[in-house]
Chain A
Amino acid sequence: MMARWFRPRRGRDANSDDMRAELDAHIALATDHFMARGMPRAEAERRARARFRDLDKTMITLAHTAERRRTEMLRRELWQDIVQDLRLAARHCRRAPLFFAAMVATLAIGVGANAGVFSILQSTLLQPLPYREPDRLAMIWMGSRGDPKDRSILMPPTVLAWHDWLTNELGDLAAVMSSSGNPQAAVDYVRPEGAERLSGAIVTPNFFQVLGVSALRGRVFTVADEAKSDPLIVLSYGVWQSEFGGDASVVGRSVTLTTGLLDRAQRNYLVAGVLPRDVHFTYPVETQIWIMAPWSAVREYPARGLAYQAVARLAPGATIETLTRRLEGYRAGLDNAEYHSVNEVIRPQSMREWVLGDVRPSLQLMAIVSVLLFIVTCVTVASGILARVSQRQQELAVRTAIGATHWRLTRQLLSEGALLAACGAAAGVVVAAIAHPLLRQLLPASVPQISDLAGGARLIAFGAVAATLTTIVAALVPAIVGAVSHSPATLVRASVGASPGRAALRLRHGLIGSQTALATSLLVCAALLIASFWRLGHVPLGFDSGRVVTVEMRFINPRMKREDREAFRRELTSGVRTIPGVVDAGLTTAVPFRGTDFMMMMPSLETPKGALANHRIVDAGFFRVMRLPLLRGRYLTDADDANAPAVAVVSQSLAHTMFGDVDPIGRQIPFKDPITVVGVVADARYVRPGDVAAPAFYRPLAQEPSGLLCVVARTSVPFEQIAPAIRDVVHRIDPTLPAMRATTIDRIIDESIAGRRFYTVMTGAFATIAIVLTLGGLIAVVARVVAERRRELAIRVALGASSSDIMRSASRQSLSAAGLGVLTGLVLAYALSTALSQFLFGIDARSVPAYVTVGLAMLIVAAVATWQPLRGLSRLPLTTLLKAD
Chain B
Amino acid sequence: MLVLKALSTDRMHGFAIALWLEEHSSGSIELDDSLVYQVLHRLEGKGYVDAEWKVTANNRRARVYRLTAVGRARLAAESEAWAAFSRSVTAIMRVSAST
Contact = CB atoms under 8 A, between A and B. Distances in A.
Interface centre among B37, B38, B63 (most CB of A within 10 A): B37
Contacts of A55: 34
**Chain B contact residues, majority secondary structure:** helix
B34 A53 contact: yes
Interface in B12-41: 13-16, 18-19, 31-34, 37-38, 41
Nearest to B19: A33
A53 B36 CA distance: 12
Interface in B53-88: 56, 58, 60-63
Contact of A52 (B16, B33, B62): B33
B41 A65 contact: yes
Nearest to B34: A58
A18 B62 CA distance: 11
A66 B33 contact: no
Nearest to B45: A69
Given A22-B14, A33-B15, A61 B34 contact: yes
A26 interface: yes
8 contacts: A18-B63, A25-B61, A25-B62, A26-B13, A26-B37, A52-B32, A55-B34, A58-B34
Interface residues of B, number: 21
B11 interface: no
A58 B45 CA distance: 18
B56 A29 contact: yes
A52 B34 CA distance: 6
Interface string A32-54: 11000000000000000001111
A28 interface: yes
Contacts of B15: 26, 29-30, 33
Given A21-B63, A26-B33, A58-B34, 13 more contacts: A21-B61, A22-B14, A25-B61, A25-B63, A29-B13, A33-B15, A54-B34, A58-B37, A62-B37, A62-B41, A65-B41, A69-B42, A69-B45
Contacts of B45: 69, 72-73
Contacts of A21: 61, 63
Chain A interface residue count: which class? 20 to 34
A23 interface: yes
Contacts of B42: 65, 69
A23 B34 CA distance: 9
A69 B31 CA distance: 24
Contacts of A58: 33-34, 37
A354 B17 CA distance: 86
A57 B37 CA distance: 13
Q: Report, nearest first, the 10 A-B pairs whose CB atoms are least far apart.
A: A58-B34, A69-B45, A29-B15, A51-B33, A22-B63, A25-B62, A53-B32, A26-B15, A52-B33, A52-B34
B76 to A, nearest CB: 24
A57 B32 CA distance: 12
Interface in A249-264: none
Nearest to A62: B37
B2 to A, nearest CB: 17
Q: From A29, A65, A66, A73, name the one whose CB has the most chain B CB atoms within 10 angstroms.
A: A29
B34 to A, nearest CB: 4
Contacts of A69: 41-42, 45
Nearest to A70: B45
B13 A25 contact: yes
Contact of B60 (A23, A32, A51, A57): A32
Nearest to A24: B61
Given A28-B60, A33-B15, A65 B38 contact: yes
